[in-house]
A and B are shown apart, each in its own frame.
Chain A
Amino acid sequence: MDQTFSGGVFTETIDGGRAGAEIELLPSGVGARTPDGEAFVIPYRECQVEVGGFSGRMVFCRNADRSLTIFCESPKFAKALSFASSGMLDDQLTSGLKKQRGESRRGFAIGTFFVIAMLLLLVGGYFGIRAGARSAVLALPVSIDAQIGDAAMGSMDLGGPKLDDEVVVGAMQSIVDRLAPTAAIEGIDFRVHVVESNQINAFALPGGNMVVYTGLIRNAENPEQVAAVLSHEMSHATLRHGVQRIGQSLGIWAGVSLLIGDVSGLMGSAVDLMQVASVNSYSRAHENEADREGVRMLHAAEIDPSGMADFFEQLEEKHGDVPGIFAWVSTHPDHASRIASVRAQVAALPSHEYREIEVDWPAVKRRVDEMDGREIDQQPNADQENAEVE
């Protein structure tokens, strides 16, 4: 078989030690002919084969004292060499090719490992900072909550005029004052603001500012039902759901600046957030937590906690087809299961002598109803209609 390949030759006898050459597989051995006409031959049985070069596929044939090397990169050369040498060089060729493959595989594996490690580091770093920021927010003193809440309260649209009727506001404040000693954390000063609006709604800002709409009072049959709603809202404040949400929504750079101790950025974004999503939509987990904590507070304050489930049911029966009005519970997708879980929790509580709330409820309702007469805007504020406190 007479085949030629293009390759080269290394030897001291030619100028520069290297030359390009035509490689031929002769019956006597591997032959090379340089463009200058010099010819070299390495007999097959003397041939030491190595595989390497930049491509990793170059075949080198060296003579016994390594003074002459003939090399070729042609992809068909290895096979042709094996054939021409009648299999004499197969062992060397196979082990050389195997070594090269192993090395390129190793390089690829290290590179891939490095790329994956970098990606993991980036992703891990991102979530690490997020998680760190969240716990750093929770580690902040409760006074921060009040600062955020006060700033948000001062600049947010409440959806109606504030009411300063002593009977109504006093009644609400007395309910809150009875619940306050049972709060999960100390240092929150609960202040109630009553706002004239048809919304059946109430919410608490971080730090203790609470807003109750007259719609809620009008629809409650007894003060225990109002206490149930208020205990749920107070729980959002005492469990610091507001600041937790701020921690979750912080951008990565705000998170980093918080971790290195800069709270000013947090304050700015927190107040913005609280205003926009003022009447805080909390996560399902936070809602359930607030329900449980609300029931616990009611029980501890010796107020009948069954008022909570009663009120949910009553509202659904009465206003179930008017979602805008029925703000407090309307958007809960599994409202029924929420009622059931509150009932289950109440049933599991140790029996207790509950004390009535000392509020002249008919008088409070009368004051609110009287206001109906002079209320100009009976419709709920359009902006607030969908912004429910859950």
Chain B
Amino acid sequence: MQHQLLAQPAMSIAKLTLQAGESVTCEVGAMIAMSSGFTVETTSRNRGGGGGLAKGLKRMFAGENFFLNHFTATAPNQTLWIGPGLLGDVMHYPLSGGTLIVQGSSWLASDVGIEIDATWQGLGKALFSGEGMFWVKCSGRGDLFLNSFGAIYPVEVNGEYVVDTGHIVAFEDTLNFKIGKAGSSLIGSVLGGEGLVCKFSGQGKLYCQSHNPPSFGQLLGPKLKAR
């Protein structure tokens, strides 16, 4: 599978080129356009792997869809265009046996060899991290496509690093974070508009998004007409 990311960073979409017999698993609703030589299969399982009802439900809790779409090319050089729901960036991450922890709703597509599972982040983090209650855990080998709200920028962490809640897209499982306050005092943190932050520690790559959907929603919401 070859891939090409277009129109970055604000309106990014991914163009995937698959050869006959190759498959890719996409988030429901991610497909924008495709060649005619694809078969599409919708299930709650990982392709050829386990899963089913329980995995589907876990995915739903993590902010993803119960179902997955598997696109399989039946002819050479078939193109598939996929894109996220919100405006923002798409990134490619080659997974080589490790595990990437992805914020719920940021997973877009992956090779069929990658296992998609939801993982609980603990009560304290679930309440305060500004992300979903669950994270999507991607493990295995192959290409992984993630989307964000706004642009994505990678950070190489070795030691400690601080990210505002709601700005995390993904991080490698060699990193961990805890919730803390931005300043030395809680009142200062709240007045400074930062409130609680995620304090990362360990070594590995961290991907952040330039904007966060809840803040955008809070700005936009009051201006919308009541339905």
- A45-84 to B contact mask, C-beta < 8 Å, 1/0: 0000000111110101000000001010100000000000
Give A20 to B100 CA distance when docked, in angstroms.
Answer: 12
The answer on a CB contact under 8 Å between B127 and A114 is yes
CB distance from A50 to the nearest CB of B (A): 8
Q: At the interface, yes or no: B183 with Cβ under 8 Å from chain A?
A: no
Residues of B within 8 A of A55 (CB): 173
Q: At the interface, yes or no: B125 with Cβ under 8 Å from chain A?
A: yes
Number of interface residues of B (CB under 8 A): 26
The answer on a CB contact under 8 Å between A18 and B123 is no
Residues of A within 8 A of B119 (CB): 54
8 A Cβ contacts from A91-112 to B: 103-104, 106-112
Q: Identify which of B99, B127, B203 gathers the most chain A CB atoms within 10 Å of its CB.
A: B203
CB distance from A242 to the nearest CB of B (A): 41
Per a CB cutoff under 8 Å, which of A8, A17, A60, A107 touches B124? A107
Give A108 to B127 CA distance when docked, in angstroms.
Answer: 10
Q: At the interface, yes or no: B126 with Cβ under 8 Å from chain A?
A: yes
8 A Cβ contacts from B159-176 to A: 171-176
- B191-227 to A contact mask, C-beta < 8 Å, 1/0: 0000000000111110000000000000000000000
**Do A111 and B123 contact each other (CB < 8 Å), given the known contacts A20-B98, A54-B101, A73-B173?**
yes
The answer on a CB contact under 8 Å between B176 and A107 is no
The answer on a CB contact under 8 Å between A60 and B123 is no
Residues of A within 8 A of B204 (CB): 10, 18
The answer on a CB contact under 8 Å between A18 and B124 is no
**Do A58 and B174 contact each other (CB < 8 Å), given the known contacts A10-B203, A53-B202?**
yes
Give A363 to B14 CA distance when docked, in angstroms.
Answer: 104
Give A167 to B125 CA distance when docked, in angstroms.
Answer: 80
The answer on a CB contact under 8 Å between B176 and A52 is yes
Give A239 to B9 CA distance when docked, in angstroms.
Answer: 73
CB distance from A215 to the nearest CB of B (A): 59
The answer on a CB contact under 8 Å between B96 and A53 is no
8 A Cβ contacts from B137-178 to A: 156, 171-176, 178
Residues of A within 8 A of B174 (CB): 8, 10, 52-54, 58, 60, 71
Number of interface residues of A (CB under 8 A): 29
Main secondary structure, interface of A, reads mixed
Residues of B within 8 A of A19 (CB): 96
The answer on a CB contact under 8 Å between A60 and B125 is no
CB distance from A107 to the nearest CB of B (A): 3
The answer on a CB contact under 8 Å between B173 and A54 is yes
- B95-119 to A contact mask, C-beta < 8 Å, 1/0: 0111101000000000000000001
Residues of B within 8 A of A58 (CB): 173-174
Q: At the interface, yes or no: A154 with Cβ under 8 Å from chain B?
A: no
Q: At the interface, yes or no: A6 with Cβ under 8 Å from chain B?
A: yes
**Do A111 and B122 contact each other (CB < 8 Å), given the known contacts A54-B173, A73-B173?**
yes
CB distance from A68 to the nearest CB of B (A): 11
8 A Cβ contacts from A3-62 to B: 6, 8, 10, 17-20, 35, 52-56, 58, 60
The answer on a CB contact under 8 Å between A60 and B203 is yes
The answer on a CB contact under 8 Å between A20 and B96 is yes
Residues of A within 8 A of B101 (CB): 54
CB distance from B206 to the nearest CB of A (A): 11
Give A6 to B124 CA distance when docked, in angstroms.
Answer: 30
Give A17 to B205 CA distance when docked, in angstroms.
Answer: 10
Residues of B within 8 A of A108 (CB): 122-124
**Do A53 and B98 contact each other (CB < 8 Å), given the known contacts A18-B204, A108-B122, A108-B124?**
no
Per a CB cutoff under 8 Å, which of B98, B122, B156, B205 touches A107? B122
CB distance from A32 to the nearest CB of B (A): 12
Please give me the residue from chain B that is nearest to A111 by CB atom: B123
The answer on a CB contact under 8 Å between B97 and A8 is yes
Residues of A within 8 A of B96 (CB): 19-20, 35
Give A53 to B201 CA distance when docked, in angstroms.
Answer: 8
**Do A110 and B124 contact each other (CB < 8 Å), given the known contacts A35-B96, A54-B173?**
yes
Residues of A within 8 A of B201 (CB): 52
Please give me the residue from chain A that is nearest to B94 by CB atom: A16
CB distance from A185 to the nearest CB of B (A): 48
Residues of B within 8 A of A110 (CB): 124
Give A312 to B195 CA distance when docked, in angstroms.
Answer: 69
Please give me the residue from chain B that is nearest to A108 by CB atom: B123
CB distance from B196 to the nearest CB of A (A): 11
Q: Identify which of B171, B172, B175, B176 gathers the most chain A CB atoms within 10 Å of its CB.
A: B176
Per a CB cutoff under 8 Å, which of A6, A18, A53, A114 touches B176? A53
Give A53 to B157 CA distance when docked, in angstroms.
Answer: 12
Give A103 to B99 CA distance when docked, in angstroms.
Answer: 22
CB distance from A132 to the nearest CB of B (A): 28
Q: Can you list 23 A-B contacts with CB-CB less than 8 angstroms, sorted by A residue number?
A: A8-B97, A8-B174, A10-B174, A10-B204, A17-B156, A19-B96, A53-B202, A54-B119, A54-B173, A54-B174, A54-B175, A56-B176, A58-B173, A58-B174, A60-B202, A103-B178, A104-B122, A107-B178, A108-B123, A111-B124, A111-B126, A114-B124, A114-B127
Q: What 4 pairs across the A-B complex have the smallest Cβ distances?
A: A20-B97, A111-B123, A107-B124, A111-B124
